[in-house]
């Protein structure tokens, strides 16, 4: 009877906790702003990869930073090079597949457009015909396709409509998963040892062999003058060579 009661209690507890655990794993990470340099506050850097506006790709000579900002100390100011240019600025960002994101920006000017491409679906841009000289918020949203891992954000004006300004760009949504470190993953590969020759002679002579002492070795190991070598036998310590004594001869006169 006690066993049956314990089994029923355990199954009831599992049934109650099961949905809670499943929902915990299903929770999406919190939304963050994925845009790079969204407020145009990063100073211009002397790097060709950054271009004139750090984090943004704009037409040559069309984009600058102005202090007339919506918030902070800087904003984007674009003046198209001619009537054939819209003055587009954009950036490419990593995203999650099959995920909804919200894109927004504060703009000022006439016929200013905000949108995204490469989402896997047709996304109509948000735009305004005129902001009346003040700041206006543009907002749009999109859901990425099942195989989409990056999207391209863009801001631009329209042909022959003059310049525009933008500030406080946001792409709100969950970030991509961080890259997994692979250098500490266990492996079944065989261990390989490397031997590095640093050029020093440290060998000990075996019986019956000879040893060469290199005088380029450290001073504690060198017993000969620099630039010379000495060969000794491994059988016994070296002994000085016998000297021959020569007696001067006298010549009779």
pTM of the predicted model as reported, rounded to 2 decimal places: 0.61
pLDDT value at position 217? Answer: 47
pLDDT value at position 30? Answer: 81
> Phi and psi dihedrals of 70, rounded to 5?
-75, -40
pLDDT value at position 93? Answer: 96
pLDDT value at position 23? Answer: 41
pLDDT value at position 179? Answer: 64
The residue ranges of the chain whose pLDDT is under 50 are 1-2, 4-6, 8, 13-25, 215, 217, 222, 224, 229, 231-234, 253
Could you write out the DSSP letters of every residue in 110-170? Answer: EEEEEEEESSSS--PPEEEEE-TTS-EEEEEEEE--TT--EEEEEEE--TTS--EEEEEEE
Query: What's the CA gap between 121 and 111, in Å, rounded?
Result: 23
Beta-carbon neighbour count of residue 231 at 10 Å?
10
pLDDT value at position 53? Answer: 87
Query: What's the CA gap between 159 and 182, in Å, rounded?
Result: 50
């Amino acid at each position: 009877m006690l066993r049956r009661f314990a089994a029923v209690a355990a199954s009831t507890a599992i049934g109650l906790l099961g949905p809670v655990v499943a929902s915990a794993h299903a929770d999406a990470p919190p939304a963050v702003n994925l845009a790079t340099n969204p407020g145009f506050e990063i100073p211009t850097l002397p790097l060709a990869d950054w271009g004139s506006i750090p984090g943004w790709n704009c037409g040559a000579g069309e984009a600058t930073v102005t202090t007339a900002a919506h918030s902070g100390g800087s904003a984007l100011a674009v003046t198209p090079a001619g009537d054939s240019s819209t003055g587009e600025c954009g950036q490419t960002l990593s995203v999650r597949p099959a995920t909804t994101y919200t894109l927004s920006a504060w703009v000022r000017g006439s016929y200013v457009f905000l949108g995204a491409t490469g989402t896997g679906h047709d996304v109509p841009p948000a735009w305004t015909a005129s902001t009346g000289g003040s700041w206006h918020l543009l907002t749009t949203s999109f859901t990425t396709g099942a195989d989409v891992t990056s999207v391209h954000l863009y801001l631009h004006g329209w042909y022959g409509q003059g310049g525009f300004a933008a500030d406080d760009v946001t792409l709100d949504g969950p970030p991509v998963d961080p890259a997994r470190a692979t250098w500490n993953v266990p492996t079944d590969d065989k261990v390989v040892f490397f031997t590095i020759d640093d050029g020093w002679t440290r060998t000990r002579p075996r019986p019956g062999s000879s040893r060469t002492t290199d005088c380029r070795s450290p001073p504690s190991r060198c017993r000969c003058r620099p630039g010379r070598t000495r060969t000794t036998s491994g059988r016994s310590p070296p002994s000085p060579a016998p000297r021959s004594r020569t007696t001067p001869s006298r010549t009779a006169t």
